[in-house]
């Protein structure tokens, strides 16, 4: 009996993600462990995206953000790096973050954080899909990611980034649009690990039609 259209699409997406993982990682192993649109309005295009990586180190933050911005540009998505709006990594309260994002004119925020979402203090539903309450929820994720990044500061190993969680938010109201989780076996070069995550993140977002 022929496979249903939805089944064929699912298999094709899984194949594409597997091929993408192999293509961007070389000898290291980067895997997508979870990815899902988490908003009913996820099909609404986000014109411009701000890429934000809380990596514990300014150079590492820039490595992820610049690679993700470049990959998004190749897919026809206009993106700006978060580090371009700050002279140095500085914690922002909710009002300051909203003001910065508002001045940038972006429609979406792609936020990457080290560690799994199960270990986050952000609100979690059944350990799978994170649920947020507008900008308050967005900022709680940012704050938790910032704290984790501070604990990682000065680390030259990618062990702390063995697992990562990435969220795509709608900057207009703070809703989460998409969530992805990634794992990597790379332990020799944190910069390359972050760049690999960035490429895999963008590829997965495109495959999920979340952008």
Residue 155: which CATH number? 3.30.160
Average pLDDT over residues 173-186: 84
Contact 139, 171 (CB under 8 A): no
Q: Chain-wide mean pLDDT for the chain?
A: 76
pLDDT over 60 (residue 126): no
Distance (Å, whole) CA 102 – CA 42? 20
What's the token pair of residue 135?
């900008």
Residues 71 and 101: beta-carbon distance below 8 Å: no
**Residue-level pLDDT at 31:** 83
- Give the least confident one: 89-98, 153-162, 172-181: 153-162
Split into its structural domains, the chain has a count of: 1
pLDDT at 195: 85
Tell me which residue has tokens 């309260």: 93
Distant-in-sequence, close-in-space partners of 210: CB < 8 Å, separation ≥ 6 = 37, 42, 168, 177, 178
Which pLDDT belongs to residue 167? 92
Provide the whole-model pTM. Answer: 0.78
pLDDT of residue 153: 65
3-state secondary structure of 15: helix
- Rounded to an integer, the average pLDDT of 129-135 is 64
Structural domain span for residue 88: 5-207
Mean of pLDDT values over 162-189: 83
91, 54 contact by CB (below 8 A): no
């Amino acid at each position: 009996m022929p496979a249903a259209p939805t089944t064929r699409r699912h298999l094709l997406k899984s194949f594409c993600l597997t091929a993408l993982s192999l293509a961007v990682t070389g000898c290291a192993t980067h895997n997508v462990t979870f990815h899902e649109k988490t908003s009913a309005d996820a099909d609404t295009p986000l014109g411009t995206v701000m890429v934000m990586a809380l990596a514990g180190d300014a150079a590492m933050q820039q490595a992820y953000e610049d690679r993700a911005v470049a990959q998004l540009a190749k897919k026809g998505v206009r993106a700006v790096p978060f580090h371009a709006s700050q002279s140095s990594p500085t914690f922002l309260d909710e009002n300051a973050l909203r003001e910065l994002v508002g001045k940038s004119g972006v429609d979406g925020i792609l936020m990457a954080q080290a560690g799994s979402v199960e270990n986050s203090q952000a609100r979690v539903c059944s350990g799978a899909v994170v649920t947020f309450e507008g900008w308050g929820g967005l900022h709680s994720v940012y704050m938790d990611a910032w704290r984790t990044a501070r604990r990682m500061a000065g680390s030259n190993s990618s062990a702390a980034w063995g697992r990562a969680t990435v969220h795509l938010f709608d900057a207009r109201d703070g809703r989460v649009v998409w969530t992805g989780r990634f794992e990597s076996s790379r332990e020799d070069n944190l910069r390359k690990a972050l760049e690999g995550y960035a490429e895999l993140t963008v590829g997965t977002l495109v495959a999920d039609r979340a952008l």
